[in-house]
Amino acid sequence: MGLALAALNANAAEHTYKAMEIQPKSNRQKAAAGHNAAVVIYFLCGNAVLLPWNAFITAVDYFGSTYPGLHTDRLFTVCYLPLAFLTLVVSTVLHDHSSARLRVLVSFGAFFLTVLAVPLIDAGTHGQGSSGSLAAVCCLLALGGVLDGMGQGALFGTAAALGPLFVEALVAGTAMSGILVSVLRVITKAAYSDTRQGLRVAAAAYFGVAAFFVLACFFLFAFVLPRLPFIKQQQRAASEAQQDVSDLAIGDQDQKLGATSLRGMGRAMWVLAATIVLIYVVTLAIFPGVLAEDVSNSWLGSWYPVILILIYNLGDFAGKMTPVLVPAATVTAPAPIFACAAARLAFVPAYYFAARAGVAPAMMVLTGLLGISNGLTTVWAMVAAPTACATAKSKDLAGNVMITCLVFGLLLGSGCSFFWLIGRGW
């Protein structure tokens, strides 16, 4: 995480000084510090907004042991993603009538309680995997989906309004979230005995740390971010500028940001919207279901899915950080981004044959490539979409639209993951 923050800070400083050359020299250092701190907060919030979801799907060993044979990894996606998508659709349509800041804060506050509830349910049931405790966990996932839909769209919308670097920081943060929970899971799993009781204690520590990380981000977003000079400056500029004559730089002249504007964005961004859907259909058709249930290794045992998920998350983070570290690697033209996303369909037959062969090194390499390609194409599409917009408010809306399409891809992909179960008696 330190390397990622250093890279983002370096990039932030470069963007800030270019943008503020006309200001008096005495103001530059203060503005730069505010800009850098804002970028770091968005990076950390990117971690936090996906931390609850990643915490649930990464604890595959704990939930698999508590509820054996119930395909909890796939069940969790069914509980989580439909509600996340529906909430995002409503939030996007009504984004003019709700406060993005309030949506983020409500999400983070409730996320803290949701994640903290998992070890409390385990303690209350003494680790017995009853149908009642599973129903409670599924309710937590459903609530998490609603909170994700509220918070993630708001975060990406505000980041898009602030500029491409903030989108990159947020996307990199979502990738870092996967690494954070994977490493945390490895540490807690290794720290306790490989027994049922040890697994329960490790899971309690794991979910507890994750919950308090989300709480820390709540305080950063609520009390630190609004006080930064750069954010205050952006708020003043946005209120003074209001709306430009054109909503979309490429030709939509409607100043209303309601249904007509959404239709205009649909015409302008359909290639990028289809791209982000396709990216996540492929990814969720494989991850985490195939890695958690459909492969095994006698030598690694219960560590095998944990290691594969860590490899995926490392690859995803590397892909999302590449445009930050190497700006020349950024692609903004929709057609080549879509072509790269379509090429990822080859992962489906590749995983089928690798799983049948049962060769662990091949599976690890494939998983790394799946993560890298997911991260790289995601950041390309998410950064390219707001560049079609001329105003801060239309960029905000574009960010919401892209996140809605992303979650729609997650939803379709999680449904496709059940096809792997055909012929297996479930």
Residue 7 has pLDDT above 90, yes or no: no
Average pLDDT over residues 192-205: 83
The torsion of the CA quartet 357, 358, 361, 364, rounded to 10 degrees, works out to: 100
Is 70 exceeded by the pLDDT of residue 426? no
pLDDT reading at 23 higher than 50? no
- What pTM value is reported for the model? 0.78
Q: Report the DSSP beta bridge partners of residue 389.
A: 248
DSSP state of 258: S
pLDDT of 60-76, one tens digit each?
778 888 888 777 877 88
Instruction: Lowest mean pLDDT of 172-176, 236-240, 414-418, name the range.
Output: 236-240
Asked whether 117 and 140 are in contact (CB, 8 A), the reply is: yes
What mean pLDDT comes out for the span 31-59? 87
pLDDT of residue 293: 62
Higher pLDDT, 418 or 11: 418
| Per-residue pLDDT, 33 | 60
Say what the pLDDT of residue 34 is: 84
Helix (H, G, I), strand (E, B) or coil at 129: coil
Tokens at residue 133, please?
């405790």
Q: Which two tokens stand for residue 156?
A: 């990406």
pLDDT band at 120 (very low <50, low <70, confident <90, very high): very high
pLDDT at 27: 53
- Please give the full DSSP string across 410-421, using - where no structure is assigned: HHHHHHHGGGGG
pLDDT category at 423 given cuts 50, 70, 90 is: low
Q: Are 31 and 230 in contact (CB under 8 A)?
A: yes
Please list, in sequence order, all residues whose beta carbon lies within 8 angstroms of the beta carbon of residue 247, skipping any fewer than 6 positions away. 253, 254, 255, 257, 261, 264, 389, 390, 391, 394
pLDDT of 257 strictly over 50: no
> What is the mean pLDDT of the segment spanning 294-320?
81
- What tokens were used for 421? 């179960």
pLDDT of 240 strictly over 50: yes
User: Phi and psi (nearest 5°) for 287?
Assistant: -110, 130
pLDDT value of position 213: 94
Residue 216: band (very low, low, confident or very high) from pLDDT cuts 50, 70, 90:
very high
Residue 262 has pLDDT above 60, yes or no: yes
The answer to whether 386 and 399 have CB atoms below 8 angstroms apart is yes
Q: Which residues of 111-140 are buried (b: 16+ CB within 10 A; e: fewer)?
A: bbebbbbbbebbeeeebebeeebbebbbeb
Banded model confidence at residue 112, pLDDT cuts 50, 70, 90: very high
**What pLDDT is recorded for position 314?**
92
Q: 287: Cβ–Cβ under 8 A, 6 or more apart, which residues?
A: 309, 312, 367, 370
> Average pLDDT for residues 46-58, to the nearest whole number?
88
DSSP per residue over 284-339, as a string? HHHTTHHHHHS---TTTTTHHHHHHHHHHHHHHHHHHHHHHH-GGG----HHHHHH
**pLDDT confidence of residue 256:** 35
Nearest to 281 by CA among 398, 377, 184, 142: 377
Q: What is the mean pLDDT of residues 377-406?
A: 85
Percent of the chain with pLDDT over 90: 34
pLDDT in tens, 392-413: 778 888 888 898 999 899 889 8
* Cα separation of the two ends of the chain: 40
From residue 244, alpha-carbon distances to 211, 241, 342, 373, 398 in Å are 41, 7, 36, 36, 16
Separation between Cα atoms, residue 410 and residue 407, nearest integer Å = 5
According to DSSP, residue 220 is labeled I
Express each pLDDT in 326-348 by its tens digit. Answer: 888 889 899 999 999 999 999 99
CATH class of segment(s) 2-421? mainly alpha
C-alpha distances (whole Å) from 305 to each of 137, 301, 368, 400 are 21, 8, 13, 33
Nearest alpha-carbon partner for 370 in 398, 350, 353? 350
Residue 254 has pLDDT above 60, yes or no: no
Mean pLDDT for all residues in the chain: 81
Whether residue 97 has pLDDT greater than 70: yes
